Structure 1
Amino acid sequence: MTFRQDRHAAPSSDYPLLGELPLARTGVDRGCERRMDDAWLPSLMHDDGTRLLLLSQGRAPVRDGALVLSGPADVPPGSQLVYLGRSAGHEIVLAVVQEAPELPGADWLGLRDVAAGLSALDAGLFVEAVAIANWHAHHTHCPRCGSPTDIVHSGWVRVCPRDASQHFPRTDPAIIVAITDDQDRLLLGANAQWGGRRYSTLAGFVEPGESLEEAVVREVGEEAGIRVASTRYAGSQPWPFPCSLMLGFTAQAESTAVVPDGEEIIDLRWFTREELGRDIVEGTIGVPSGVSISSALIEHWYGGPLPEPRHLEN
């Protein structure tokens, strides 16, 4: 038994600089007040109208550009369940399964593979599902005493049976910033993990007791050796790989004598639009693509979609 849901985007208004980002869309009412009743989730599994999103190793079933939702009878025994919310009169539950079952006409795909083409409802469900599943996978024991924790509140809280401490899903805030100079060139850096050919905007996690603006200044100083000013918030989106919230900014460099830190960032370059477009087309460098907020920041500065490498155009 499978379902197809309506693909209507949620009403939109007042977007920041980057507009609506692929992973920052939703069409579901998460129902925080409903999920606090521990009888709520079990009751949904006895309702044939409940729809379930199956997730296996971070992948979900997709057919014809939409998530495939199943009924309670299709969920394998022993699956981990989490209440996701309500949409169009249907309650939606995540079921984390060990092995992906065969679903006619469906492909099991990852969030980054399909998010840009999904409806707001589907994108929001997929992001929520991946994020909460990752939290459960990495936080199975009490950080205070090491005891295995019990899952309560429809999958949104874990409780230690030994000391009764409650543990909630975590989100790690990280800033990411598009830096320009007085000639409107864009600064991009090559991360050591990418082998030196892929260039991106600079980013880093927010430290305890630090504002977002302070994190921008500190991270740029650490990674590029320059100071920035005129910091402006540009937009945000979840990045559940495993549990980040990316907060995008633009900023103006006070100097151009950049020095990579040599550990995380091994090269830094100032690009004009012509230089960046040419290097991408010729395959000299790679840049972020798809649903990343880095790609959105770069394309906002560039003035539109980035060109494809020449070998992809042929």
Structure 2
Amino acid sequence: MPASFELGEEPLLARANLDRADQVRKNPERLRAGWATARVLLVDHSGQYGVTEQGTLGWVPAISLGAEPVADAVFLALQVVDGHEVDSWALRVEETPDVFGEARSGAHRLPADEAGLLATALGMLNWHRTASYSPIDGDPLELVQGGWLRRNPKTGAEEYPRTDPAVIMVIHDGADQVLLGRQAVWPERWFSTLAGFVEPGESLEQCVRREVFEEAGIHVHSPHYLGSQPWPFPRSLMLGFEAIGDPADPLSFRDGELGDARWFHRDDVLQALGRDREWNGTNTDAELLLPGSISIARSLITGWARAPKP
């Protein structure tokens, strides 16, 4: 049995078409040679990054940071800028430039490739934050391959970037009702899809069923994969699903993650989507506020609400 609907469009952070240039990462001489014309995105410890007055990523010339690649910089991609191939890097800094952006509230304004570069930068820098030392013996690890590998210089043991898989699902009744939840710390009227991390020894479909039962206390069936999106907060891959539940089953917030969950009618969701409001608190009269366009949750909700009725 196929999925009952498709995503109307790819999630925002999954639209980039990047040349990650693995062959460049693995060539130290090539990385050094490209540094003179490269550009670097500076990101602070809270995830803020430089932006231009137009709201695009605020790159700085790599050469302004030193004659050779900075020790903690991460190579992102090889791109064509103004007709020339340019290496793009990211670097964690204490402070970003005066004009800065924040991914959760500003990434939806970026072109697709820049949004993808930002997601890559945040995911890689967040991994490096916790990967400076060997998990085996505590020895310091050196960065190699443009920051895409950490190696123990004494033993040669290697550590690769980590991505944590998580499922995110729109639960509906096969007709006109959809289940949305609100975490206890969220303001009233802010609702989104349910989600959770995949556990060892668990398939994605098993995780969908378990997470819904743990969070909302109901059993669902017929999970189907719909699409995915990187989510660099700190370094996850969100795997989007749909599944079927029964609105007659009583809800029970078993693990305490949800402060509320409700079944909403398709018309209510369409009305919320039609307001084109995101989680910004500007529409205090709305009965339902939906997640912002940066999240695959928005794509899942939109895809379900605007799909042809069964």
Amino acid at match of 1:152: V
Amino acid at match of 2:91: A
User: For 1:193 and 1:281, how far apart are their aligned partners in 2?
Assistant: 17
Percent sequence identity over aligned pairs: 39
Correspondence for 1:201: 193
User: For 2:156 and 2:63, how far apart are their aligned partners in 1?
Assistant: 34
* Among 8, 23, 39, the residue aligned to 2:13: 23
- Contact 2:39-2:62 at 8 Å conserved across structures: yes
2:28 aligns to what SS in structure 1?
coil
Gaps spanning 5+ residues in structure 2: where?
1-5, 273-282
- Contact 2:9-2:299 at 8 Å conserved across structures: no
Correspondence for 1:180: 172
Q: Please state if 1:189 is matched with 2:181.
A: yes
1:300 positional shift: 2.2
- Contact 1:79-1:98 at 8 Å conserved across structures: no
* Among 81, 93, 97, the residue aligned to 2:93: 97
Amino acid at match of 1:53: L
Range that drifts further, 249-258 or 173-182? 249-258
Correspondence for 1:9: none
User: For 2:8 and 2:158, how far apart are their aligned partners in 1?
Assistant: 36
Correspondence for 1:53: 41
1:220-231 counterparts in 2 under 5 A?
220-231=212-223
Correspondence for 1:289: 292
Runs of 4+ off more than 6 Å:
none
Correspondence for 1:217: 209
Range that drifts further, 190-199 or 115-124? 190-199
1:196 positional shift: 6.0
User: For 1:18 and 1:246, how far apart are their aligned partners in 2?
Assistant: 17
Amino acid at match of 2:10: E
- Contact 1:229-1:254 at 8 Å conserved across structures: no
Q: How does the TM-score come out when normalised to structure 1?
A: 0.81
The root-mean-square deviation of aligned C-alpha atoms, in Å, is 2.5
Range that drifts further, 139-148 or 193-202? 193-202
User: For 2:171 and 2:262, how far apart are their aligned partners in 1?
Assistant: 11
Correspondence for 1:272: 265
Correspondence for 1:13: none
User: For 2:72 and 2:215, how far apart are their aligned partners in 1?
Assistant: 41
| Alpha carbons of structure 1 residues 157 and 255: separation in structure 2 relative to 1, 3 Å | same
1:248-263 counterparts in 2 under 5 A?
248-254=240-246, 256-257=248-249, 258-261=251-254, 263=256
Correspondence for 1:70: 60
- Contact 2:168-2:240 at 8 Å conserved across structures: yes
1:254 positional shift: 4.6
> Could you list the per-position Cα deviations for residues 11-38 of structure 1 after superposition, in whole angstroms to 9, with x for gaps in the alignment?
xxxxx52422111121320011221123
- Contact 2:122-2:232 at 8 Å conserved across structures: yes
| Alpha carbons of structure 1 residues 23 and 265: separation in structure 2 relative to 1, 3 Å | same
> Could you list the per-position Cα deviations for residues 203-253 of structure 1 after superposition, in whole angstroms to 9, with x for gaps in the alignment?
111111222111111111222222222222221110000011011111111
1:179 positional shift: 0.7
> Could you list the per-position Cα deviations for residues 119-156 of structure 1 after superposition, in whole angstroms to 9, with x for gaps in the alignment?
12211111111111111112111111111211111111
Correspondence for 1:170: 162
Range that drifts further, 154-163 or 164-173? 154-163
Count of residues in Structure 1 that have an aligned counterpart in Structure 2: 283
* Among 236, 247, 263, the residue aligned to 2:228: 236
Amino acid at match of 2:258: I
1:191 positional shift: 1.7
Gaps spanning 5+ residues in structure 1: where?
1-15, 305-314
Amino acid at match of 1:207: E
Range that drifts further, 74-83 or 129-138? 74-83
- Contact 2:165-2:239 at 8 Å conserved across structures: yes
